[in-house]
Amino acid sequence: MNGEWSERTKLAQALGAIDEKSRAVVPPIHIASTFIRDPDNQYRSGNVYGRPDNETVREAEAIIAAIEGAQSAFVLGSGMSAAVAVFLALKPGDHIVAPKVMYWALRNWLMNDAASWGLETTFVDMTNLDAVAAAIRPGKTALIWAETPANPLWTITDIEAVAALAHRSGARLAVDSTCASPLLTRTLDFGADIVMHAATKYLNGHSDVLAGALATRSDDEFWARIKRNRAAMGLILGPFEAFLLIRGMRTLALRMEAACASAMELATRFANHARVSEVLYPGLASHAGHAIAKRQMRGGFGGMLSIRVRGGEAAAIATAARVELWKRATSLGGVESLIEHRASIEGAGSPCPPDLLRLSAGIEDVEDLYRDLSRALDASA
């Protein structure tokens, strides 16, 4: 597809791919696990075996690379497998700087499992550039991992500033941009080396696929190690899941627009609700990271927000128990709106306050969403 077209157009047409044989506007799903060699024993198709090679997977990767402005992209079996694939491409003895506020499962992996691979991690407040700079060990720190907006407090990291700190010390910057999506933040444009998405969330958007994605600014030796790990460990996404991911990405622009609008409306209204002590959403001018978010996010501030309920943990749990329209479920980024008491999920050591409810705004009528949650808050008093 012509490079001049917008990301929205590229997504809607899945880069304009047409099946050459049938002329279908939706390409077929390639499910083969093995491929024919050429008579001279070569594989000129580029396909050798299903574990590292699949045409449907490549179609999904091409779309992600195009909308991220990346040299290359990979899709993997989950967001966790994508993130861990980056860390496993490091070398034993390497040092990592990671945020204190981040996706809890990955934080737990870094705290409990990374050391067995010879990796050391320092956790910092990624919104404090002085703290990030102090945590870097020149010649030792190989990777800074950031997440913005950061789940579930929605803190904002200055990508450009952290990238400068990383590169000055010879480290790479990788950013989990799941909650922004490529439509709100083109992370690589701000200096990040690698961007990661839990593609289960906004990229797919229908709560029916587990997938992860990585995209890189430079197709270098480090990226080659990630590729080798993906093949060696069988981390590739299945072809049917890749097809569903492509299908979901076609409507990403519409879904993200609706989610951002609803989240902004809900944040504004709940900020003045008698039963809410605080709203955490980078779109609010009162948010500590609002100015940075405004600079590096376009078209909205995301579909994720959190509210802190007056009355503490018991009131927050009671509120979640009383909603009718919102769904009490883990995950985010789907067409349905979800609510979750995060401290219960994350457990000991979580930075999440016990009175916090995490909200993922879907594409329902925002008035219905507000009325349902407002009633639940009032009933929990």
Give catalytic residues, as residue numbers.
Answer: 51, 103, 176, 201
* Among the listed residues 167, 127, 133, the one whose alpha carbon sits nearest the alpha carbon of residue 147: 127
> How many helices (H) does the chain have, and how many strands (E)?
14, 12
Alpha helices in the chain (DSSP H): 7-12, 55-68, 79-88, 104-112, 129-135, 159-168, 181-184, 221-232, 239-249, 252-270, 290-296, 312-322, 342-346, 366-379
By the 10 Å C-beta count (0-12 exposed, 13-18 middle, 19+ buried), 108 is classed as middle
Measured distance CA(299)–CA(55) in Å, rounded: 32
β-strands 141-147, 356-360: how paired? unpaired
What is the DSSP code string of 162-213?
A: HHHHHHHTT-EEEEE-TTTHHHH--GGGGT-SEEEE-TTTTTT-SS----EE
CA–CA gap between residue 296 and residue 298 (Å, rounded): 7
Dist CA 88 CA 74 (whole Å): 15
Amino acid identity at 266: L
Cα dihedral across residues 189, 191, 193, 195: positive or negative: negative
Residue 16 DSSP label: G
In whole angstroms, give the CA distance from residue 257 to residue 363.
9
Amino acid at position 315, single letter? A
